Structure 1
Amino acid sequence: MLQPLIFEDHYKRLGLETYSEENLESFKGDRFRTDIKVLFVPSGYELTIDFNHYKITKPSLFFLTNQHLNIQKGKDELLFLFYNRDFYCIQIHDKEVACDGLLFHNVFEIPFVELDQSETPLIKDLFQNIKDELKWKDSSAEEMIRTYVKQIIIRATRKWKKQNLDNDTLKIPGSELDIFRDFSRHLEIHFREKHHVADYAELLHMAPKTLTHKFKNLNLDSPNQFIINRILLEAKRLLFYTDKPVKEIAYDLGYEDPAYFNRLFTNKTGNTPANFKKNYISGKKYNI
């Protein structure tokens, strides 16, 4: 296996690893759980992110934070960029790249963009530029690398909008986009303690009915359903990837009454938490 290229300076860290058919078995996704991750994934790969399985039919970029990642199959060179928030925080720098709530932390759980024939070499060149800077270890490398990371994110944000807005996937006009981005970002931060639409409406400085109507007018699930979905996703992660008992998971997710949490989970998933943990099989299949 090729040694990863790493930049480290005090608290700041960024690395780039390359995988292919030869070394794919060595990939351990949990090593990067606390990092922000950007993957260039060639066609022909299969990977699972949380409980969704993806078969890649076009070169794609994936953007991950706390999701669980497992790569099952692939042949050509996959580029795996990871960095911590001290190196480049997507929340602090959101005005520069406008990606938080779209590429990362979006409530629609669409963490990828597909690349066409003209875009693929441009993105690969940016990864190569990062690789070169990591090898050269010049004193200005940190800022150059950050510049290339921003270019990848900006290009991908534009592509995400083009692929997912004002079309059959998500009918969200550009004028409404900031509301949904802000809702996504607040939900990611607060879902453990804020379980009601009114909580998020207050953060967005609007009436709960107004927020609900905005979702309804665009034929989206209700804000309440998105809140529940995010809580259930975290519950599934904790059930499947940790040894925490159901009662402790309920408390972690802000439910003082574990029995209520148990009923909610069972009602929404068709499985009790205990049965889900016991019987889980990889979820929905997505071909992209």
Structure 2
Amino acid sequence: MIKEFSFKQFGNLEFSKSALQDHALTAIEGHIKILFIPKNAIIQVDFQEIAMETDALLFINPNVVLKPCETVGGQLMHFNKDFYCIEIHDQEVACDGILYNNVFEIPFINLNQAQSDDIQRIIREIQVEMNNEDSSTEEMLRILLKMIILKSTRIWKEQHQLATKDQQTDVQFLRKFSKLVEQHYKTRHTVADYADLLFVTPKNLSKKIGLVSKATPNEIIKNRIILESKRLLAHTTMTVKEIAYSLNYEDDAYFIRFFTKNTGISPITFRKQFK
């Protein structure tokens, strides 16, 4: 189901291999998404297949390629930026908050039983509200959506030991770094670039990122470039040279060596394997 309020869109889909038609996810690829995934489900996020050990929530930016593999009972909520975004909501729980600007890891929130029951209760309220047609429906859906994001942000902070007031500056720093990598990975490829943008030394940047990530800032930047390279190789007809140029590599031979070193296969081989 999908609700439209002028330019604002919000929808809810059952997320399972049997329920989803091929075009269903393509039609909403530009939407921001929250996916509830039950324990033991298997899903594919971009090019990584993941088996869920607990019930979980996944927060998905537009254009991330998502596919159910062995999934029953999943629920996908999706919305556009006109429906819910930073311009009218608190930064931390908005669509550019830490859950959506997280380049350190795939942004899963693992849920214990009580947390899962709580989230599933809100999802059921969303489904009931989707069948209403009164003047308060839009705002009720927005409130329920914000509840999920707010509760999940709290859980994420607790799981990463960043829940106290003294650690809020660390959370904001991580959010800023994620946002900058997402904005500039095509043109800025070094740790020093981002240290300059954040007015810290490269060493201090590495120390702060180490609070929540086993990967170094350099690895995080490289991984984002590689992910975009894979997306372009898999989902466009751009040549390797065009992809290299779009990622600010003037020498496509250097780009090929960079991709091969970090993935173990050449760009052409990756494209052939994916197809």
Same topology, TM > 0.5: yes
Q: 1:218 to 1:108 in 2, by over 3 A?
A: closer
Deviation at 1:260, TM superposition (A): 1.8
| Structure 2 match to 1:71 | 68
Deviation at 1:29, TM superposition (A): 2.8
Q: 1:82 to 1:20 in 2, by over 3 A?
A: same
| Structure 2 match to 1:196 | 190
| Structure 2 match to 1:186 | 180
What is the TM-score with the length of structure 2 in the denominator? Answer: 0.87
Extract unaligned runs of 5+ from structure 2: none
| Structure 1 match to 2:154 | 158
Deviation at 1:210, TM superposition (A): 2.7
Deviation at 1:28, TM superposition (A): 3.9
Deviation at 1:39, TM superposition (A): 1.1
Query: Relative contact order, CA 8 A, sep 6+: which one is greater?
Result: 1
In the aligned structure 1, how far is the partner of 2:38 from the partner of 2:207?
Answer: 40
Q: 1:219 to 1:109 in 2, by over 3 A?
A: closer
* 1:250 is the counterpart of 2:244: yes
Q: How well do the aligned residues superpose, as a CA RMSD in angstroms? A: 2.5
| Structure 2 match to 1:125 | 121
| Structure 2 match to 1:104 | 100
> Of the candidates 36, 46, 50, which is equivalent to residue 50 of structure 1?
46
Helix, strand or coil: the match of 1:227?
helix
Extract unaligned runs of 5+ from structure 1: 167-172, 282-288
> Of the candidates 226, 229, 238, which is equivalent to residue 232 of structure 1?
226
> Of the candidates 3, 8, 11, which is equivalent to residue 7 of structure 1?
3
The 8 Å contact of residues 101 and 178 in structure 2, kept in 1 or not, is answered as: yes
Identity %: 41
Q: 1:58 to 1:25 in 2, by over 3 A?
A: farther
The 8 Å contact of residues 64 and 104 in structure 1, kept in 2 or not, is answered as: yes
Q: Which amino acid aligns with 1:275?
A: T
Helix, strand or coil: the match of 1:277?
helix
In the aligned structure 2, how far is the partner of 1:27 from the partner of 1:117?
Answer: 33
Helix, strand or coil: the match of 2:131?
helix
What is the TM-score with the length of structure 1 in the denominator? Answer: 0.84
Task: Name whichever of 250-259 and 12-21 sits farther off.
Answer: 12-21
* 1:134 is the counterpart of 2:165: no
> Of the candidates 78, 83, 86, which is equivalent to residue 87 of structure 1?
83
Deviation at 1:196, TM superposition (A): 2.2
Helix, strand or coil: the match of 1:108?
coil
In the aligned structure 2, how far is the partner of 1:194 from the partner of 1:238?
Answer: 18
In the aligned structure 2, how far is the partner of 1:183 from the partner of 1:94?
Answer: 18
Deviations 1:43-82 (A, max 9, x none): 232110012211123221111113210101123x221100
Helix, strand or coil: the match of 2:57?
strand
Q: 1:20 to 1:220 in 2, by over 3 A?
A: closer
In the aligned structure 1, how far is the partner of 2:159 from the partner of 2:188?
Answer: 31
Deviations 1:189-215 (A, max 9, x none): 111122222322232122334323444
